[in-house]
Amino acid sequence: MASNPVELLSQSEDLVAAVDLGSNSFRMLVAQAFNTSSGTQLRPIDTLRESVRLAAGLTDNKLLGNDAYQRGLTAIRRFGERIRGFDPANVRAVATNTLRVAKNSRQFIDDAQDALGFPIEVIAGVEEARLIYIGASHEVQAVQGNRLVVDIGGGSTEFIIGKGYEPKLLESLYIGCVSHSMRFFPKGNIDAHAFKEAELAARREIQVISGAYLKSGWKQAIGSSGTARALADLITANDFNGQGDGLTMGRVNASSGLITREGLKALKKHLLKYEHVSQVELIGLKDDRRSVWPGGLAIMLAVFDELGIEEMEVTDAALRSGVLYDLLGRSQHHDMRYVTVEQFMQRYSVDREQADRVGRLAADFLKQLPKPEAESRADNVALLQWAANLHEIGLSISHNGYHKHSAYIAGNADMPGFSKNDQARLAALLIGHAGKLGKLANNHSFEDWRMLFCLRLAQVLCRGRNDANLPKVKVSENNGCYQVSLSKEWTNEHPLTEFSLLKEAAEWERIGRPYQVSLK
């Protein structure tokens, strides 16, 4: 048999790590990455899982209660100890549905970042779906044609159809094992009517997307992550795969990675024998899953019914694996964010020459300014150039206030590869690249003033949309004062630009930020 050459990408002291702050559990995967003839593969070194039940700790007014808040921070502190000393470029932490909806999520994220020692990104549902598919597709056997991946989390369920390693259809629905269990089985109470209502509610949500998914079709159905694994293990351990519902000695066999329609129906039949989750007797039912698996079972039955599935393979690989593969892609210049920006430029018919002109000039200005102490200069240059590429997408809606439309699109559209924080920073640069600065001055969370200075200056100088007329400009920053130096001779020939520069300086002075234009 031919050998399969393997090249180690990271030395033992340069491990990669992914942290997944889910609605039910927090998980961490530490791995080494290898290049093989068939592509990059991960070798797991260490895994950690903490059941924090974050979604169960949400109050009626969408605030994280103190108990859930503290459970989450305690788990993250332990994770932080494990990855202490890791290269920041080798760690990526993401947060999902509960921290998307909690009103005090910003405070929790700030505290969690201090505890972990690394930045945490809150990602949108569609971005979560994309990363889940990347993780699952790398870990299951390849097939010819499309694959369907379903991931039932604590607060949301992701549906993805893709081919190979590329996702094609992505959806995230607000149904999850924790939220569904709390809604239909309060305090752990079980009855047939409540279960039927739980199934119907999930089916109503899935019906919205089922048409497009059935039309696309798939050769392979995959269930990823905790709920799918728990259901598959219960079906197998209790011999529910079409063999009746009598409890037998638990065993692991060839079907241990499979969920079948018969198995799900047998689980439902067995569950409805009881009045409370605490009474349920099932081989392999873990205590931390006991209160949430009825909601997960109802959702999975709805998935099978609405999408016509008879059996589903199961993989443990999911979001955290996808995060690592995506992280490795960024280090190897396969960053999905560049692809997304390119797609947006096509969709909104961006003037590429102007975008490139503004981006090159803004990046040149940023490189003249002092290097940031706590941020990556390369990351900031990339964000600045994405902002330049997208600053005129709002023109597709209206020239009047186009920068507001640009910011709205960037802040609210599905942008694969971008975290919520990425999009918020991008939107702030777009809203601020033209017009008044007052709104950003009152936004105490906005910190990208240097990048905004560079983008606004580049936009002013590039107003003529012509490379031939651009001057040589030097910029500097001293004690918070920005200085722009250029030729007096050039400005004499370009009085409109000189007027615009002086007007720009006055706008910065108006918000209390010194700005000097020096003509020599």
Token couple for 135: 């993780």
Q: Is the pLDDT of residue 262 over 60?
A: yes
d(CA 173, CA 137): 21
Q: What is residue 9's predicted lDDT score, i.e. its pLDDT?
A: 44
Give pLDDT tens digits for 297-312: 999 999 999 999 999 9
Q: What is residue 165's predicted lDDT score, i.e. its pLDDT?
A: 85
CA distances from 431 to 12, 235, 348, 405, 413 (A): 44, 53, 17, 8, 15
Average pLDDT estimate for 19-23: 92
Domain boundaries, the chain: 6-123, 141-316, 335-468
Residue 246 pLDDT grade (very low, low, confident, very high; cuts 50, 70, 90): very low
Q: Is the pLDDT of residue 1 over 50?
A: no
pLDDT higher for 335 or 182? 182
d(CA 204, CA 457): 51
Percent of the chain exceeding pLDDT 70 equals 92
Contact 432, 394 (CB under 8 A): no
User: What topology does CATH give the domain 141-316?
Assistant: Nucleotidyltransferase; domain 5 (3.30.420)
d(CA 444, CA 208): 39
Q: Is the pLDDT of residue 289 over 90?
A: no
Q: Is the pLDDT of residue 511 over 70?
A: yes
What sign for the dihedral angle of Cα 321, 327, 331, 334?
positive
Average pLDDT estimate for 288-295: 90
Which residue in the block uniquely carries the two structure tokens 């994405």? 386
Q: What is residue 250's predicted lDDT score, i.e. its pLDDT?
A: 38
User: What topology does CATH give the domain 6-123?
Assistant: Nucleotidyltransferase; domain 5 (3.30.420)
d(CA 45, CA 8): 14
Residue 13 pLDDT grade (very low, low, confident, very high; cuts 50, 70, 90): very low
Assign 94 to helix, strand or coil: strand
The CATH number assigned to the domain with range 335-468 reads 1.10.3210.10
Q: Is the pLDDT of residue 4 over 80?
A: no
Contact 85, 14 (CB under 8 A): no
Range in 184-188, 286-290, 433-437, 447-451 the model is least confident about: 286-290
Residue 37 pLDDT grade (very low, low, confident, very high; cuts 50, 70, 90): low
Range in 42-46, 209-213, 268-272 the model is least confident about: 42-46
Give pLDDT tens digits for 351-395: 999 999 999 999 999 999 988 877 788 889 999 999 999 999 999
Q: Is the pLDDT of residue 41 over 80?
A: no
Which segments within 216-264 are labelled E, that is strand?
A: 220-224, 258-260
Contacts of 8-11 with C-beta under 8 Å, sequence gap 24+, read: 8/32, 8/34, 9/33, 9/34, 9/35, 9/40, 9/328, 10/90
d(CA 238, CA 231): 11
Q: Is the pLDDT of residue 206 over 90?
A: yes
Percent of the chain exceeding pLDDT 90 equals 63
Output phi, psi for 36, to 5 deg.
-125, 175
pLDDT higher for 3 or 323? 323
What is the average pLDDT value for the chain, to the nearest integer? Answer: 88
Q: What is residue 36's predicted lDDT score, i.e. its pLDDT?
A: 60
- Name the pTM for this structure: 0.74
Contact 153, 97 (CB under 8 A): yes
CA distances from 146 to 163, 164, 172, 218, 222 (A): 5, 8, 19, 4, 11
Output phi, psi for 429, to 5 deg.
-65, -40
Q: What is residue 35's predicted lDDT score, i.e. its pLDDT?
A: 67
Average pLDDT estimate for 57-71: 91
Q: Is the pLDDT of residue 338 over 50?
A: yes
Q: What is residue 226's predicted lDDT score, i.e. its pLDDT?
A: 83
Crossing angle for the helix pair 420-432 and 377-390, to the nearest 10 degrees: 60
Token couple for 154: 């604590």
Output phi, psi for 187, to 5 deg.
60, 20
pLDDT higher for 292 or 143? 292
Residue 163 pLDDT grade (very low, low, confident, very high; cuts 50, 70, 90): very high
Answer yes or no: same fold for 141-316 and 335-468. no
On the CB side of 412, CA atoms within 13 Å amount to: 7
Residue 14 pLDDT grade (very low, low, confident, very high; cuts 50, 70, 90): low
Contact 23, 176 (CB under 8 A): yes
Q: Which of 294-298, 330-334, 466-470, 489-493 has the highest mean pLDDT?
A: 294-298
DSSP state, residue 80: H
CA distances from 461 to 254, 290, 347, 399, 446 (A): 67, 63, 26, 19, 24
Give 450-466 as a 3 state SS string.
HHHHHHHHHHHHCCCCC
Which residue in the block uniquely carries the two structure tokens 């990602």? 123
Residue 233 pLDDT grade (very low, low, confident, very high; cuts 50, 70, 90): very high
Nearest in space to 268 (alpha carbons), one of 231, 305, 243, 303: 231
Give pLDDT tens digits for 344-358: 999 999 999 999 999
